[in-house]
Amino acid sequence: MVSRKQQNNNLTDFFEEEYSSLKGYVRSKITHTAESDAEDIIQDVALRIFSRPLDALPIQNIGGFVYNAIRNRIIDVMRTKKERIDNEKTLELLWTEFASMFYEDFTEEYPDQLKERLKEAIAELKPVYRDIVIAVDFEGYTYREISKQTGIPPGTLMSRRHRAMSLLLKKLELVKK
């Protein structure tokens, strides 16, 4: 049975010896990626492996385990990138739909003015309100995902978004009159 310390030493040795091979592997799986993306993926996987609970089963085949973990992380990254690209393609449509929430008599006659006023109104919000509106309504993040990344409770995020929507509504109603 290998001790936790010995296993960490083995993992450290593996990452030091195989780092360039791991980067090459990541780059071969992800097209159009910056070198920092490959390094970020490897560092993320290393952090997760070294942070494993003490009662986790010992790793028998370090190379296989690490490459499998990297492959899984690449799949996650590609899935996220695809979602972001899909979100970017529909951003203009989202601006229009989002604006229509504030204007019941919305017509296609003034969409550019409407979108510009909405962008200005969002930009005028305090950062905590602006960030939650952009993250939830335009980038498609869930409150749980944002909470996990920021450490802010989901209820607080929901309250901030609700407050932001109220402020936007007031700003846009003033313009409408």
The Cα–Cα gap between 69 and 67 comes to: 5
Positions in the chain short of pLDDT 50: 34-35, 106
Other beta carbons within 10 angstroms of residue 66's beta carbon come to: 21
Cα atoms in the 13 Å half-sphere on the side-chain side of 63: 4
Q: Is the pTM value of this prediction over 0.85?
A: no
The Cα–Cα gap between 22 and 177 comes to: 60
CA separation, residue 39 to residues 14, 42, 72, 74, 77 (Å) = 15, 5, 15, 12, 13
* pLDDT value, residue 106: 47
